[in-house]
Every structure is written in C-alpha cells, then in structure tokens.
Amino acid sequence: MAKQFPAIDDAQRDFIARQHIFFTASATAESRVNISPREAACLRVLTPNRVAYLDQTGSGAETAAHLHADGRMTIMFCAYAGPPLILRLYGRGHTLTRGTQAYAETLATAFDNQESPGARQIVVLDIDLVQTSCGYGVPLFEHTGDRPTLRRWAESKGDSGLAAYRAEKNAISIDGLPTHLVGDAAG
C-alpha cells in the first residue's frame, strides 16, 4: 500500500544513496510525457524537500523544455536488490544553466566542484510529496557496473564539440518547446 510523506526522511535518504539508477518524468499539458533514466551517482539530496542532479548532454532535452514551460516533475527510484520498494519524489523543478552563478554555487556545495564531461545543467526538484509503494512487481537485477560510453563520447567531443551538438540536438524538444540550453555561458 502506498504511503505519503511531506519530505524525505532518513531511511528514504539512505535508500536513495544505495540506488544506481533513477527515472525522471516530466510533461506539459500539450506535450508528450517524457521518462528518462539517470545515473544515481549524479543525484544529491540537498534538504528533505530538495534534490538536484547533474544532467549530462544527451540526444534530447525534454526535461529542460518541460521544466521551463511547466515545472512539474517526478523522480522515481526502484529497489532492484534487497527489500522491494518504489520511491517517488513529486514536485516542481527548475534548471541551473551551466556557466551561471547559481550553477557554480550548487556545483561547489553539492558536487564538490566535480563536473563530469558533458555536463549541461543542474536540475533541481523542490519536493512537495514523497510517496513509497510496495515494489513487489519490480524484478531483481544485479548491478555489474556503469557504462563508460557517455563519458568517453563527451570527452571526445570536447567543449566546442559539445556546444555544437547541443545547438543541433538540444535547442528544441520533440514537441517544439525551447530548452534554454543553447547559448549558455559555458557551451
């Protein structure tokens, strides 16, 4: 049975820290719903009602477009090992553009100034509801490691190549919404 909480508690924070993957879901009233997998190592619990993750350059930028247009976002974690559990964080998100003071401050305080190759923004979720559910239907998986492909791809592109890629592939969502990623101060 689902349980709801006003904020992340200590047990939920520990659960989040043990995960290897999470999923973001976002949409506007007129757009497609987007669900994206993310490497959990890039997520930080900032407060019981705020999380942030360092977003990597990818083939699309739906989350950025949706957050600028609407702001609603859900983050979901599933237990693939150990006791079953699904944890959802509901709220409103916004982005911190790479090269801005807010980005630099959050990178310094939450990520120890460690920016992975290909970083394009920090996504912040202000949480208004935490929900857990049983997770009985989630299969068991064994984590065997992280894929190095995205990091190698970003390193091979370099800053100017990533800026050109974002200009070509990340300026507009699949529904024609602006992402606000192109023209950032750092590429």
For the chain, what are the domain ranges?
3-136+147-169
8: left (phi over 0), alpha (psi -120 to 50) or beta: beta
Query: Does position 8 have pLDDT exceeding 60, yes or no?
Result: yes
Give the CATH fold of the 3-136+147-169 domain.
Pnp Oxidase; Chain A (2.30.110)
pLDDT surpasses 70 at 31: yes
Its pTM surpasses 0.85: yes
pLDDT of residue 183: 64
Task: Return d(Cα 91, Cα 53) in angstroms, integer.
Answer: 14
Mean pLDDT along residues 47-57: 97
Would you give the end-to-end CA distance of the chain in angstroms? 46
pLDDT of residue 165: 94
Alpha carbon 51 to its chain centroid, in Å, reads 9
pLDDT (tens digit per residue) in 169-181:
999 999 999 999 8
